[in-house]
Amino acid sequence: MMIQTEQQYQTLLERIEELLQNPKNIENQHAKGHIELNVLSDLVANYEEQNFPVKQPLLADVMKLRMAELGLNQKGLSELLGVSTSRVSEYLTGKSEPTLQVARKISQQLDIEPAIVLGV
């Protein structure tokens, strides 16, 4: 069985919400509601993967987020990476991509997944 329409999807979301109201449906693996909750959750997850795919974030956006979290400005990031502030600006605007050596530093210093840094 697969969800075919948006209406079916919405109906199943409502049913999942109902099932979540009863803690036994979450805690007791043998409860009828627990089994139904798992089946419906899988159906909804499959529908969402097909209809609402999550795109990989852009490197520039992740870098800006990490900079904010770490309290870094462009100058601080340029010092951390060993590149000029103008080069950091190019990375943050998407005008330039980092070299492999700089990409490695970005991944390590900012704790960003290598796949995001490399765009794969």
What's the confidence (pLDDT) of residue 68? 96
Number of H helices, E strands in the chain: 8, 0
Question: Domains in the chain, start-ordered, CATH in brackets?
Answer: 6-51 (no CATH), 59-118 (1.10.260.40)
pLDDT, averaged in runs of 10, over the chain (120 residues): 93 95 88 91 94 88 95 94 95 92 94 88
Q: pTM for the complete prediction?
A: 0.60
pLDDT of residue 30: 85
Closest CA to 67 of 79, 55, 56: 79
